[in-house]
Chain A
Amino acid sequence: MNFDFSDDQKQLRDQARKFLAEKCSPKAVRVVLDGKAPYDRELWKGLAEMGFLGVAIPEEFGGAGAGHLELCVIAEEMGRANAPVPFSSTVYLAAEALLIAGSEAQKKKWLPAIASGEAIGTLALFEGKGNPSPKNVKLTAANGALNGVKKPVPDGAIADFAVVAARTGSSGRDSDISLFLVDLKAGGVEVKSLTNLDPTRGQAEITFKDAKAEPLGSAGEGWSILTEVLDRAAVLCAFEQVGGADRALEMGRDYALDRIAFGRQIGSFQAVKHMLADMYVSATLARSNSYYGAWALSTNAAELSEAAAAARISATQAFQHCAKNNIQVHGGMGFTWEFDCHMYYRRANAMALGLGSLSYWEDQLIDRMRKKNAA
């Protein structure tokens, strides 16, 4: 047993941290936050040049072929920097779906484009309210054409292609769902930007009217592929959340050291110290479950389904907890637009919903634990 990242992986994390500190300052994030750009194009290009976009994509498809542990350490840094780029939708969702289910031709077409930063991808799953469930997929696919509306689609307004979950049957079983690849720049696709909690990552409504689509994976396999994609993305997002939680904790800690009230540093008051200690506890728990998730993800272990749900739960709770208490430590200044606290508060709460809500993952964890206990 060795429950830690390797020295090379830690070096990669340092490299990513340094790169993002330089190219993704809070000032740069604010350009997107303030609506002056839909995402940070320069940063996206830079991430491609660093090899970060394709770190887990095999070399034969234009990636670095490193692996998922390497992707995890980069994800942590993306979260820490609150990077305003479509990293999670392109890399954790679209690329993972292609890696799991794509044909040779599909992989050849899209994976090198992802790794080089030329293509932005996403997953179009949700149709309004509700959590991931075959029942909630109404959009239909027939004769290679899609009809229906997806929202919210993460980074939908800037994406070049989408993996779309569509209904291809009406038996009431998971096998009613199939996945399709759609070129969003082609005809029959209408994209509308939606305002959302976290403007540094866009959300969109996409209307498909006889949009041309090619199957991704076998017909009727959609839901099982999606389940795996969501599990993998849950682990990768958990690393982003852990990075964000750590950063929020650091901001709170730094402010508590800096701010003087009643003639002393506010960090010397136990009420403040204990709040920060509790933030550290939740961030640590989240990190540990995420590490276990990383191991399961990187080894394709059977434990992935339970590990992913536990990592997702802890990381969601930790990021929300740290982001909200970071504002509390900052007092009134934490509630200004000028201070960066709200960027993490927004990101934490948006991420808590992105792959399905906390209660959805709690449900998943219990189901998966029961299945394991029964086995």
Chain B
Amino acid sequence: MNFDDTPQEAAFRETARKWIDANAPKELHAELSKSSLGRIRLAGRDIVEVGKAWQKKKADAGWACLHWPREYGGRGATPIEKVIWQQEEGVYGKLTQPFQIGEGMCGPTVMAFGSEDAKRRYLPKLASGEEIWCQLFSEPSAGSDVAGLRTRAEKKGDDWVVNGQKIWTSGAHYSDYGLLIARTDPNVPKHKGLTMFFLDMKSPGVEVRPIKQANGMQEFNEVYFTDVVIPDSQRLGAVGEGWSVSLTTLMNERMSIGARLATGVPEMFEFCSNLMLEDGLAIDDPAVRSKLASWAAKSNALKYTSYRTISALSKGERPGPENSIGKLVSGMMLQDIATYAMDLQGAAGVLTGSDEETVQGQFQQMLLSSPSMRIAGGTDEILRNIIAERVLGLPGDIRVDKDVPYNKIPTKGR
């Protein structure tokens, strides 16, 4: 049990710190520090554009996708070095948001199932942010039940022709490539008829339509496929093996967890430290203290849970589904914190502009964005199922569609 850097780790940290100090876009520091969940505040500047510049600069100096092999655009760094980098990168890490799905999910899937040519062609550009990737899994009638997806891919000669619709695709509107799971055989049970591909998002027949979200923003999209042609060379894994390939993708999502999960606690601590209530500072109020302490303890615990995972990774152990707790805990916490912060603001809490008494509406924004944290990437309920079944070994739910061919599963209005 040792929290201190080893001499090698300390040297790595020093190198990283020096490089960041010399190269980071310091003019953005103040704005980035203030932006919390759902709102990166960069006045008049496009986060993708600014993010790409930072990512490219990092890649050129060997600081992008640190844990990837060098030949694919990484640094061959250890899991712990990656954490050290994230600690040192600090608020500038918020600029990596457009690349996280590529780095965390698409890249590792290509790495595991792509041909050597594909890896050398696509991974370095993904790492450097020159090409952005999105993930095309969810569909209008396949959310939690993603294996029930309908998008069809049919073999025509050496190509596949894709028709269907995906939804909730973060960043599809600025993505260059997409990781796509589609149904290649509807005559077998649903998990067995899926195949994984990647495709150029500029292919003819791909149409991206933004979704206006409940929080007023537009980060997600619908993606429509009309006779989109994908060469067989862009298939990842065997035909019919898409489900197991997708599990690799999801496992990598869990491995890519870092210390970047937003909990709302730092913002709330600062808010309570400055807010004057009738009897004094909010942070001196026993009711406030009690809630704040519980949230702070949880937030610390999430951080140390990720450290335990990293320690396991660095010993060559594979982290399991127990990492699901991060999003489960932080999603609910964000929503609770936002609600309570507004409660403390009283009547003014209803205001969502840049009013002083609501600290520029940051908790209002958090409130409106937090429901998505409890849904995207596995709902709270699915995460609890995963913990119950894969960690605790409880039986799966009784499934009425289990051994039924996909095209015989009853649906509403298919």
Does the CB pair B283–A366 fall under 8 Å?
A: yes
Whether A2 lies near B388 (C-beta < 8 A) is no
Interface digits, A255-280 against B, CB 8 Å rule (1 contact, 0 not)? 01100000011011010111011101
Tell me the bound Cα distance from A337 to B329 in angstroms: 34
CB of B297 closer than 8 Å to a CB of A: yes
Contact residue among A267, A314, A370 (Cβ-Cβ distance under 8 Å from B298): A314
Q: Is the interface of B mostly helix, strand, loop or mixed?
A: helix
Bound-complex Cα distance A277 to B391 (A):
9
Q: Check B304–A273 contact: CB distance below 8 A.
A: no
**Residue A365 lies at the interface, judged by CB distance under 8 Å to chain B:** yes
* Listed residue (A5, A313, A366) with the most chain B CB atoms within 10 angstroms of its CB: A366
* Contact status B394-A69, CB under 8 Å: no
Closest to B380 in A: A274
* Distance of A268 Cα from B396 Cα, bound (Å): 6
B325 x A1 contact (CB < 8 A): no
Complexed CA–CA distance, A363 and B288 (Å): 10
Shortest B78–chain A CB gap in Å is 10
A22 to chain B, nearest CB (A): 25
- Alpha-carbon distance A348/B312, docked complex (angstroms): 30
B394 CB contact (under 8 Å) in A4, A268, A288, A299 = A268
The one of A267, A268, A288, A295 that contacts B2, using a Cβ cutoff of 8 Å:
A295
Q: Which residues on A sit within 8 Å (CB–CB) of B300? A: 288-289, 292, 310
Chain A residues in 8 Å Cβ range of B329: 281, 285
* Cα A310 to Cα B4 with chains together (Å): 20
Contacts A3-B3, A313-B297, A369-B269; A267 near B394 (Cβ below 8 A)? yes
Question: Could you tell me the distance between the alpha carbons of A292 and B5 in the complex, rounded to whole angstroms?
Answer: 15
Complex CA–CA separation, A267 to B398 (angstroms):
11
The verdict on A365 contacting B286 (CB below 8 Å), with A1-B5, A4-B308, A253-B393 known, is no
Q: How far is the CB of A262 from chain B (nearest CB, A)?
A: 10
Alpha-carbon gap, A100 to B297, bound state (A): 27
Interface positions, chain B 308-344, Cβ under 8 Å from A, are 308, 310-312, 314-315, 322, 325, 328-329
Is A49 interfacial (CB 8 A cutoff)?
no
Contact status A277-B392, CB under 8 Å: yes
Residues A1 and B2 in contact, CB atoms below 8 Å apart? yes
Q: Given contacts A4-B312, A280-B322, A298-B1, could you give 13 more A-B pairs where the C-beta distance is less than 8 Å? A: A3-B2, A3-B304, A257-B394, A268-B396, A280-B391, A285-B329, A289-B297, A313-B297, A317-B294, A361-B293, A362-B293, A365-B293, A370-B273
| 23 A-B residue pairs with CB within 8 Å | A1-B80, A1-B83, A3-B1, A3-B3, A3-B311, A4-B308, A270-B381, A270-B384, A273-B385, A273-B389, A277-B388, A285-B297, A288-B301, A288-B302, A289-B304, A294-B1, A309-B297, A310-B297, A310-B300, A313-B293, A313-B297, A317-B294, A362-B293
